Amino acid sequence: MSDENFDLTLFLPYLLNQAAEASSLEFQKIYKERYGMLRTEWRVLFHLGLYGRMTASEIGQRANMHKTKISRAVQKLTERRFVTRARDDADRRVEHLALTAQGQAAYADLHSVAQHYDAGLTAELTPSERETLQQMLLKLSSMRPDTFT
């Protein structure tokens, strides 16, 4: 039963985790040191920078983040004047979030860092490898595997 040519160090969830951690370590340092941000905060910032005005739920859906995480990230970001909140007039439950000038500046800075960082990471891959990697990661990201007993 135990297939010997199955190496657990090549187990995809494990490998992905290792690669994800290793690859985000240095970048993490940068947004932490420069802006005192957590991963959740950086993600909210980058969604707002990328897509413009959004609500917390919209960010949650796109980023696969739980609403409490977002709530807390937004709180920190507003405290530090990176983000503003505006109640929707029609539906007063929803809040529209947007970057302040300061938030835009931080986003622009980190966007550029990310760009160089990413280039550094992929430097060792050929363009086609890079493309394939992206496609596969996107596929895996959207997968919801069920019962594997």
Partner DNA sequence: GCTTGTTAGTTACAAAAACAACTATTACAA
Partner DNA sequence: TTGTAATAGTTGTTTTTGTAACTAACAAGC
- Contacts with a copy of itself by CB under 8 A lie at 1-3, 6, 8-27, 30, 43, 46, 49-50, 64, 108, 111-118, 120-122, 124-125, 129, 132-134, 136-149
Q: Does 17 bind DNA (CB under 7 A)?
A: no
- Position 83 contacts DNA (CB under 7 A): no
Q: Select the span of 3-11, 85-93, 106-114, 140-148 touching DNA (CB under 7 A).
A: 85-93
* 23 versus 102: smaller Cβ distance to a copy of itself: 23
Measured from the CB atom, the residue of 24 and 75 that comes closer to a copy of itself is: 24
Kindly state whether residue 75 participates in binding DNA, applying the rule CB under 7 A: yes
Among positive and negative, which fits the CA dihedral 29, 69, 74, 139?
positive
**Mind giving me the DSSP string for the chain?**
---TT--GGG-HHHHHHHHHHHHHHHHHHHHHHHH---HHHHHHHHHHHHH-SEEHHHHHHHHT--HHHHHHHHHHHHHTTSEEEEE-SS-TT-EEEEE-HHHHHHHHHHHHHHHHHHHHHHTTS-HHHHHHHHHHHHHHHH-------
Kindly tell me which residue out of 57, 102, 132, 134 binds DNA, with binding defined by CB under 7 A.
57
**Residue 93 CA to chain centroid, in angstroms?**
25
Residue 30 within binding range of DNA, rule CB under 7 A: no
Partner in contact with 117, chosen from a copy of itself, DNA, none, beta carbon below 5 to 8 Å by kind: a copy of itself
List interacting residues with DNA (CB under 7 A): 38-40, 55-57, 66-72, 74-75, 85, 90-95
